[in-house]
Amino acid sequence: MKNSKKSVFLEIISKKSSKILYQDNYVTAFRDINPKAPVHILIVSNELIPTLNNIKSRHKNLFSSFFLAAKKIAKKEKISDSGYRIVINCNKDAGQEIYHLHMHLLGGKKLKKI
């Protein structure tokens, strides 16, 4: 983690607790405390990046890790065949509540079309 600013996600990442479902050099995944689907997992960047608008070209490996983690977790959670949704909210009007880049992995039921 390259940024020393405080984030609730950084606290979870640094504790390396049993709540962590997946972790690599770039991302960490754990269950959302307010799930919107039977499977609702947050995949967060290990580096504090406030929003999608703050990414740089040096973050290319980060995005590979986001999507590879989502694929692995979906398979482990047994939703890869039935289907899942990936969402990244950017800023207030999109519903971003925690300003630390993260992806929502949702599944486990038929999701409404958007």
The one catalytic residue in 40, 100, 102, 104 is 102
Query: Are 106 and 74 a contacting pair, CB within 8 Å?
Result: no
**Helix, strand, coil percent values for the chain (each to nearest 5):** 30, 25, 45
Is position 102 annotated as part of the catalytic site? yes
Query: Are 105 and 41 a contacting pair, CB within 8 Å?
Result: yes
Residues assigned a catalytic role: 102
